[in-house]
Amino acid sequence: MIIATVLSDPETYAVCLRENDAVIGAISLLNSRNGSNYPAGQCELGFWIGKPYWGHGYVKEASLVLLRHAFEDLHMNKVWCGHYDGNEKSAKAQAKIGFVFDRLVPNAPVPLLGEYRDEVINYMSSNMWQTIKEKNQM
């Protein structure tokens, strides 16, 4: 189910360890969410990292590479990123990457789990990306 619904999108990539190419997660740029398409020039960044690899900077490193691709190759003007309320690891990672708060969506569907949770939606604009790019000397 996960491979067919999440990992088969065209802009989905494995996150691998440099030293041995072991897959530790996935990261993607999505054009739609819960059946709704994003407007032209916008997409969503999604990521998942295996628990043993949390807190090592892999999400930030992979996200910066994919954000460069989104803004510079795909010419996006806004990238969205969200996390469910209470997921402090994801909230902290998104803040470190440079995403800022946009809104809270109460009772958002979680299709893969068949439940509803409050969701925090964050974003990054192309102008914000330029500042982040310079800060990270990319």
How high is the pLDDT of residue 35?
61
Mean pLDDT of 112-136: 93
Mean pLDDT of 43-57: 94
3-class secondary structure, 114: coil
The two most distant CA atoms of the chain are separated, in Å, by 41
Which value, in Å, is the radius of gyration of the alpha carbons in the chain? 15
Q: Is the pLDDT of residue 2 over 60?
A: no
Q: Is the pLDDT of residue 84 over 50?
A: yes
Neighbours of 120 (CB within 10 A): 21
> What region, left, alpha or beta, does residue 41 occupy, with left being phi > 0 and alpha being psi -120 to 50 degrees?
left
User: Which phi and psi angles does 18 have, rounded to 5°?
Assistant: -65, -40
Q: How confident is the model at residue 38 (pLDDT cuts 50, 70, 90)?
A: confident
Neighbours of 80 (CB within 10 A): 19
Q: Pick 12 or 36 by higher pLDDT.
A: 12
All structural domains of the chain, each given as residue ranges with its CATH number in brackets, are: 2-135 (3.40.630.30)
